[in-house]
Structure 1
Amino acid sequence: MSHSEKFIAALRQIQKNGQVNPELNSSLNAEEKELLENLLQKGLVDESLKFLDQLDIDNDWNLVKKRLQTIKPIRSIAPSILKYAAILIGLITATYFLYNANLNTTEDSNPADVITLKIGGEDVKVIDQGENQEIVAANGLVVGTQKGDILIYDQNDEIEELIYNELAVPYGKIFNLELSDGTIVHLNAGSSIRYPINFIKNHNREVFLNGEAYFKVAKDADHPFIVSAGEVAVEVLGTEFNVSSYEEDSEINTVLVEGSVRMRDASISGQNLILEPGFKGAFNKSDHTIGKAAVDLDLHTSWVKGELVFRKSEFNSMIRKIERRYNVTITNNKEELNQKKFNARFHVDIESIHDVMQSISNVTPFEYTIEANENVIIN
């Protein structure tokens, strides 16, 4: 446990029990013990932890220490207590402004590592997967709620025009969405979806996908559900299917789990394909052809459960999926690996990027390094 972690752990114990347990107390120095006692007597424990609980202190600690280097020693009848009190005040102040600066930067620039919700094409909101909150339209009307890792929209007959929200999920995360008709959407890493906050009578239920999503479509024979994914449109009445339409991939794929879908080239009215469960429809972006083949559904839908499954998969194709799900960059300097095929299964909540690379290198030996930011270099 680091220096900062010990001190903060002691603060938490004082907050909960009014004292520090003997084992942790023995790991603190005399000045820290005096400071903790002083904070307890002055009722500053809750105030101190209010901001610290919101931050990963270890990641911010070095920045805070640099900020604290400018503070001059304070000398008085209780120099040790005042010196550490000044440090704590400086820590709280610095982390408070650091937190708010980061929050403002996140909301303004929408960095690539946060989930964002664009409301009505203008306001952009950062979505924290640990929060519960109301989703409010640009006109102030509450249209749904966030419950942890899912946004749930309510059907509202008062809304008589198509108003769109756009949900974007970065690499390293997945997120869930329930549309106003009850359709469930699981959105994969590195994907975004644009959808109406409320489906309107006498209009098709159409959403726009960039990336990959698994759909469980609510049945409504009078209002076909259409997924527009680049140059492909997938039309259904009620079914479960997966659509993958990443910009960097050479194909747009639809895999049907149950029900029936029609996959068509959005630019060529006569070219379409009806899929049966267990089949994949593939649209080639280069020559605009559509073909289908029977597939192992697990290979294409296991990501919803947090798994990456590969069967006779070329290494260069595996890299793209690993990068998206683990939010890393893999630089492969060993080109002969690209065409090698592998069978593998990983669970992103159990196996780290190191576990993944170690497992693959056990099959076909190669050397790799993982940098501090977890990016991978293969040599």
Structure 2
Amino acid sequence: MQKLKSVLVSIEQSGRIEMDVLQKLTQEEKEIVNTLFHENLVSEALVFLEEMDTDAEWHLFMERAMVSKKQKFPFWRPILKYAAIFVGVMVTGYLVFRQNDMVNQNPISEMSIKLKMGNDNVKVIQEESSQQIISASGKVLGVQKGNRISYKVDSEISELVYNELEIPFGKIFEVELSDGTLVHLNSGTKIKYPVKFLNTGKREVFIEGEAYFKVAKDKNHPFVVHSDQVDVEVLGTEFNFSSYKEDTEIKTVLVEGSVSMSNSLRPEDQLVLVPGTKGAWNRVSHHTHEEKVDVDLYTGWIKGELVFRDISFLDMAKKLERSYNVVIENNNEPLSGKILNARFHVDIESIDDVMKSIGELHSFQYTIKNGKITID
């Protein structure tokens, strides 16, 4: 395994395969190297090898690979075709069975905050604890304290490496990126970001859900938020961004500074927002529009507040489900279209309190059982 590592390091540094270097390897390992090189997976393979504990694991893995080859099962290429990184080859190898056994014994709860640091490397974040965030190669990337992860600006990373955070319903979380940008993440949100921004190009992140950004100023490296077909670009500002899949619109509300909002389907619809305005892109019509808004209606969730103004119960229910981690089944059709105004605090009012308050305005019966609310 060490010989294979050294060969892959040489290829990663030179960008090509030196035939004299391959002489150190077995025929089977040469085939592996050629496949990895042509699939552009050399860097990922090095990460995978770092995660192997012993040479014994490597030999077991190779035995499995050779068996599949003798059976004329195309072991490498189909796996690499569907795997994001080299660790995906474990799907047909010995190691996957060991990992599956561990997962079955200790399944990750849907209520857990999850930090994905590789294709199969998922760390559960405990909000009441603290820990270092360490890469597969042993480098310290940052630290988690309570409900925030802060990444180091000076971590020993020279290439673009991504982490992904997933926040479940009923929780909010914060991540401080390596440039000092602070991101508040709402319930039911996923965000993908580099563990360290490089000194070239733009600072780019990818999001599904809702987040409030306090972007660190850097005029040489614009900050870009990507979601679906929409891009929001800034140099340094504060804004709220919402892109839940179940919502018909992707929305940006500007609090401070200036942002540019565009979409790939209709580039001519680019907006430049000023503070106190909202830009929205419709997933169905693909049109973009802007309007003046009360920013507090869109940013109160950071403090646990849920503020609703002129909103239908149908849309209100979606937000309540995310914030309280419940399922709302509404069998009262007239209620769906009722327009409501309300303000709640998730740390003060329970979901039962919320339903009672709404029921005082529009009478209905409901039951709550095992996290499911049924309205009749």
TM-score, scaled to structure 1 = 0.71
Paired AA for residue 260 in structure 2: R
| Residue of structure 1 equivalent to 2:94 | none
The structure 2 residue matched to 1:221, chosen from 205, 219, 222, is 219
Separation in structure 2 between the aligned mates of residue 106 and residue 275 of structure 1, nearest angstrom: 49
SS of structure 2 residue aligned to 1:181: coil
Separation in structure 1 between the aligned mates of residue 102 and residue 293 of structure 2, nearest angstrom: 46
1:301 aligns with 2:299: yes
Separation in structure 2 between the aligned mates of residue 106 and residue 319 of structure 1, nearest angstrom: 34
| Residue of structure 2 equivalent to 1:113 | 111
SS of structure 2 residue aligned to 1:156: coil
The structure 2 residue matched to 1:275, chosen from 273, 276, 282, is 273
Separation in structure 1 between the aligned mates of residue 120 and residue 178 of structure 2, nearest angstrom: 21
Q: Deviations over 1:248-278 (max 9, x none)?
A: 1100000000000000003444331100100
| Residue of structure 2 equivalent to 1:180 | 178
Q: Deviations over 1:326-356 (max 9, x none)?
A: 0000000001001101111110011101000
The structure 2 residue matched to 1:190, chosen from 188, 191, 216, is 188
SS of structure 2 residue aligned to 1:117: strand
1:145 aligns with 2:126: no
Separation in structure 2 between the aligned mates of residue 123 and residue 334 of structure 1, nearest angstrom: 44
Alignment CA distance shift 1:157-1:369 (3 Å): closer
Paired AA for residue 347 in structure 1: H
Paired AA for residue 259 in structure 2: V
Separation in structure 1 between the aligned mates of residue 231 and residue 107 of structure 2, nearest angstrom: 31
Instruction: Kindly tell me the number of residue pairs found equivalent between the two proteins.
Output: 276
1:340 aligns with 2:363: no
Residue 312 of structure 1 and its aligned partner are, at CA, apart by 1.2
| Residue of structure 2 equivalent to 1:356 | 354
Residue 108 of structure 1 and its aligned partner are, at CA, apart by 6.4
Pairwise CA RMSD? 1.6
Residue 104 of structure 1 and its aligned partner are, at CA, apart by 5.4
| Residue of structure 2 equivalent to 1:154 | 152
Separation in structure 2 between the aligned mates of residue 133 and residue 107 of structure 1, nearest angstrom: 23
Q: Deviations over 1:80-121 (max 9, x none)?
A: xxxxxxxxxxxxxxxxxxxxxxx9558965432110000134
| Residue of structure 2 equivalent to 1:200 | 198
| Residue of structure 2 equivalent to 1:169 | 167
SS of structure 1 residue aligned to 2:299: helix
Separation in structure 1 between the aligned mates of residue 155 and residue 221 of structure 2, nearest angstrom: 15
Separation in structure 2 between the aligned mates of residue 282 and residue 114 of structure 1, nearest angstrom: 31
Separation in structure 2 between the aligned mates of residue 222 and residue 367 of structure 1, nearest angstrom: 57
Residue 152 of structure 1 and its aligned partner are, at CA, apart by 0.3
Separation in structure 1 between the aligned mates of residue 128 and residue 119 of structure 2, nearest angstrom: 24
Q: Deviations over 1:128-166 (max 9, x none)?
A: 111100000122100100010000000126311100000
Separation in structure 2 between the aligned mates of residue 234 and residue 115 of structure 1, nearest angstrom: 26
| Residue of structure 1 equivalent to 2:373 | 376
SS of structure 2 residue aligned to 1:270: helix
TM-score, scaled to structure 2 = 0.71
Alignment CA distance shift 1:195-1:376 (3 Å): same
Separation in structure 2 between the aligned mates of residue 313 and residue 198 of structure 1, nearest angstrom: 40
Q: Larger C-alpha radius of gyration, 1 or 2?
A: 1
Separation in structure 1 between the aligned mates of residue 240 and residue 345 of structure 2, nearest angstrom: 19
Separation in structure 2 between the aligned mates of residue 364 and residue 335 of structure 1, nearest angstrom: 12
Separation in structure 1 between the aligned mates of residue 105 and residue 307 of structure 2, nearest angstrom: 35
Q: Deviations over 1:156-202 (max 9, x none)?
A: 26311100000000001000000000000000000000000000011
Alignment CA distance shift 1:365-1:105 (3 Å): farther
SS of structure 1 residue aligned to 2:284: coil
| Residue of structure 2 equivalent to 1:134 | 132
Contact 1:210 1:229 in 2 (8 A): yes
| Residue of structure 1 equivalent to 2:98 | none
Q: Percent identity?
A: 54
